[in-house]
Chain A
């Protein structure tokens, strides 16, 4: 999970403060926090990440270690799954694991068609790990 997705997860766990509220509380430059959550490339200095880690009460390494893990990695995996028409396995932070074929994916979520015919829309900030399953 990338820093951006993880930050979004932490924000959800904290009760859903807005990015502006987070910025005010942490001193992160206005507009930066949203970009940290949403942009592909790594955004934010180490000081900002440390400040956010303190705000969310997690170790700073939890954030800094994910800096190189870009959001694009998950997007690329979802696109690849579509192109190869291969199922993808998503491990979620809640402990759930689902496997299905990707129908679409966008900035915030992806639709999987599960084996049982059910459709599941997974919010991407819930996905901890993923793996393409050989068809």
Chain B
């Protein structure tokens, strides 16, 4: 299932800046993506996924904004990643106040209520929906509630005294018997039996165990924001959140530090600037294709051209021709061959539109029959017959003069076949027929192919 970008980033324990640097995306953009102000375009999705070392599909294209809370940077998610199961927001919600700090300073600044110089979230007044609770999100004097109720209950409901902001709550965030609070003095645990607290004196453990670290502040030995965070997180090794980069555990190298070289953005930056109006290199003309040369040889043979003739025509021998020159020479040769061909018979037809129209050979034949005034015998599809001499014809009809002197026009389509008694001088003799007929038939077949 796809997660919000901020969730994934927090899971990877990265700050926005770190993610920005690793992904090559501007931090402001990442911020906008996380707040759901902009959907993440595919290009950035890929970059971010690469930086987070996850698949693109795992990132929601449009994030839901993160809940307003103390954990805004690379803080480990208090809910998603550390609770053994889904945290219970039930009766006694944890607190979020009293000394838990989210700054570098182990001292004062905090989200909680004891700080003097930090922005406060609540300052003792209810916020986040809490009825009469006095504190807000962690501020004031405790008793704030995250979720409502009368002040003491917190994130969920019920009677819990704990609150997200408040004092002595005994809530547990995830279960167990913990009396932890997110702030205050609570002894909550996030999972197991730990007595952790997010706030001040807690001896919390974040997932079990007996860790005594606290996430927050106050007098706790660890602090979220700074100081000497010792340990915690139950049985896991605890990352440090002291903003002391030098002391951090080794992180997998970012892209630009990997052996593969700089990332895409760096490469792009390294690219020399484009020259304005720079010339593209022209591809060189390839040598003539073997098929071109073969075709040329055939054509030259048909033209009875020798090597000298070719040199005169092309200016160079065949083997020296490039593709363009060969193409040009082919065209020239074909034109020369076309000029040598005998003219086609008169009465050159137009391509008929209707399929039944008189085609080339029939046109020549009918013209001759008409000139010879040879008698014709037509048999139509319906079995009827007509006799007469051809007076004229169009592509789609023949006009006969019958023996009675009438003229009848017959649709070509209606004719099944017709017989002609040829004039003696025009009669096709068996000796003369084959060669001419073969040529004619081949031409017809070729034309039919074209059609």
- Complex contacts, B448 vs chain A, CB 8 Å: 40, 71-72, 75, 106-107
* CB <8 Å contact, A104 and B417: no
- CB of A107 within 8 A of CB of B381, answer no
A85-127: which residues lie under 8 A (CB-CB) from chain B?
85, 92-94, 96, 98, 101-109, 111, 113-114, 117-123, 125-126
CB distance from B162 to the nearest CB of A (A): 74
**Looking at the complex, which one of B418, B427, B434, B447 makes contact with A121 (CB distance below 8 Å)?**
B418
**A12 contacts which chain B residues (CB < 8 A)?**
356, 381, 413-414
Interface string of B215-233 (1 = CB under 8 A from A): 0000000000000000000
B81 at interface (Cβ–Cβ under 8 A)? no
With a cutoff of 8 Å between Cβ atoms, the chain A residues found around residue B433 in the complex are: 85, 101, 103, 113
Interface: B358 (CB within 8 A): yes
- A33-55: contact bitstring with B at CB < 8 Å (1 yes, 0 no)? 01001111000000000000000
* Chain B neighbourhood of A126, CB < 8 A: 381, 416-417
**With A8-B356, A107-B359 given, is the CB distance from A119 to B447 under 8 Å?**
no
Assess whether B2 is interfacial by the CB under 8 Å rule.
no
Determine if A78 is an interface residue (Cβ-Cβ < 8 Å): yes
- Of all chain B residues, the one with the shortest Cβ separation from A7 is B355
* C-alpha gap A105/B418 in the complex (Å): 14
B362 at the A interface (CB under 8 A): yes
Instruction: Judge whether B421 and A79 touch: CB under 8 Å.
Output: no
Chain A residues, Cβ within 8 Å of B362: 106, 108-109, 111, 121
Closest chain-A Cβ to B146's Cβ sits at a distance in Å of 68
**Pairwise interchain contact B355-A75, C-beta atoms closer than 8 A:** no
Decide if B411 is an interface residue (CB 8 Å cutoff).
yes
Which residues of B sit under 8 angstroms from A103, Cβ to Cβ? 428, 433, 437, 440
> Quick check: is B292 within 8 A (CB to CB) of the other chain?
no
A39 with B365: CB separation less than 8 A: no
B287 contacts A by Cβ under 8 Å: no
Chain A residues within 8 Å of B449, by CB: 40
**Residue among A18, A72, A105, A109 making CB contact with B354, cutoff 8 Å:** A18
Quick one: which of B365, B381, B428 contacts A113, CB cutoff 8 A? B428
Closest to A80 in B: B441
B428 touches A16 (CB 8 A): no
Q: Does B301 touch A at the CB level, under 8 Å?
A: no
**CB under 8 Å from chain A, chain B span 390-442:** 411-422, 427-428, 430, 433-434, 437-438, 440-442
CA gap between A71 and B447 in the complex, in Å: 13
Query: Looking at the complex, which one of A71, A101, A108, A123 makes contact with B416 (CB distance below 8 Å)?
Result: A123
Contact assessment for A118 and B420 in the assembled complex, using a CB-CB cutoff below 8 Å? yes
Question: Which residues on the B side are within 8 Å of A83 (C-beta)?
Answer: 438, 441
Say how far B415's CB is from chain A's closest CB, in angstroms: 6
| Residue contact B355 to A82, C-beta cutoff 8 Å | no
Chain A residues, Cβ within 8 Å of B417: 92, 96, 98, 120-123, 126
Tally A residues with Cβ within 8 Å of B. Answer: 49
- B360 close to A (CB within 8 Å): yes
A11 contacts the other chain (Cβ, under 8 Å)? yes
Q: How far is the CB of B446 from chain A (nearest CB, A)?
A: 10
CB atoms of A85 and B419 under 8 A apart: no
Q: Would you call B361 an interface residue if the criterion is a C-beta within 8 Å of the partner chain's C-beta atoms? A: yes
The answer to whether A94 touches B361 (Cβ under 8 A) is no
Given A119-B422, A121-B362: A34 and B444 interface contact (C-beta under 8 Å): no
Q: A79-B441, A79-B445, A82-B434 are in contact. Are A94 and B359 (CB under 8 A)?
A: no
**B11 sits at the interface (CB 8 A):** no
Report how far A11 CA is from B379 CA in the complex, Å: 17
Complex alpha-carbon distance, A92 and B438, angstroms: 23
Shortest distance from the beta carbon of A122 to any chain B beta carbon, whole Å: 4
Whole-angstrom distance between the Cβ of A5 and the nearest chain B Cβ: 9
> B444's contact among A38, A106, A117, by CB below 8 Å, is which?
A106
Please encode chain B, from 333 to 365, with 1 for each CB lying within 8 Å of some chain A CB and 0 for all others.
Answer: 000000000000000000011111111111001
Q: Which residues on B sit within 8 Å (CB–CB) of A113? A: 428, 430, 433
In the complex formed, the residue of A with least CB distance to B365 is: A111
* CB within 8 Å for A111 and B451 given contacts A16-B414, A34-B354, A121-B418: no
Interface set, chain B 75-94, CB cutoff 8 A to A: none
Q: Which residues of A contact B352 (CB under 8 A)?
A: 107-108
Q: With A107-B352, A108-B357 as known contacts, state yes or no: A38 contacts B415, CB within 8 Å.
A: no
Known: A12-B356, A83-B441, A102-B441. 8 other contacts (CB 8 A): A40-B449, A82-B437, A94-B379, A98-B417, A111-B365, A119-B420, A120-B420, A126-B416
- 29 CB < 8 A contacts A-B: A8-B355, A8-B356, A12-B381, A16-B414, A18-B354, A34-B354, A38-B355, A72-B448, A79-B444, A93-B416, A102-B437, A103-B440, A104-B361, A104-B365, A104-B437, A104-B444, A105-B444, A106-B444, A106-B448, A107-B355, A108-B355, A109-B362, A111-B361, A113-B433, A119-B428, A120-B417, A122-B416, A123-B416, A126-B381
The 8 closest A-B pairs by CB, nearest first: A106-B359, A104-B440, A82-B441, A37-B355, A104-B361, A38-B355, A107-B359, A106-B444
Which B residues fall within an 8 A CB radius of A? 352-362, 365, 379, 381, 383, 411-422, 427-428, 430, 433-434, 437-438, 440-442, 444-445, 447-449, 451
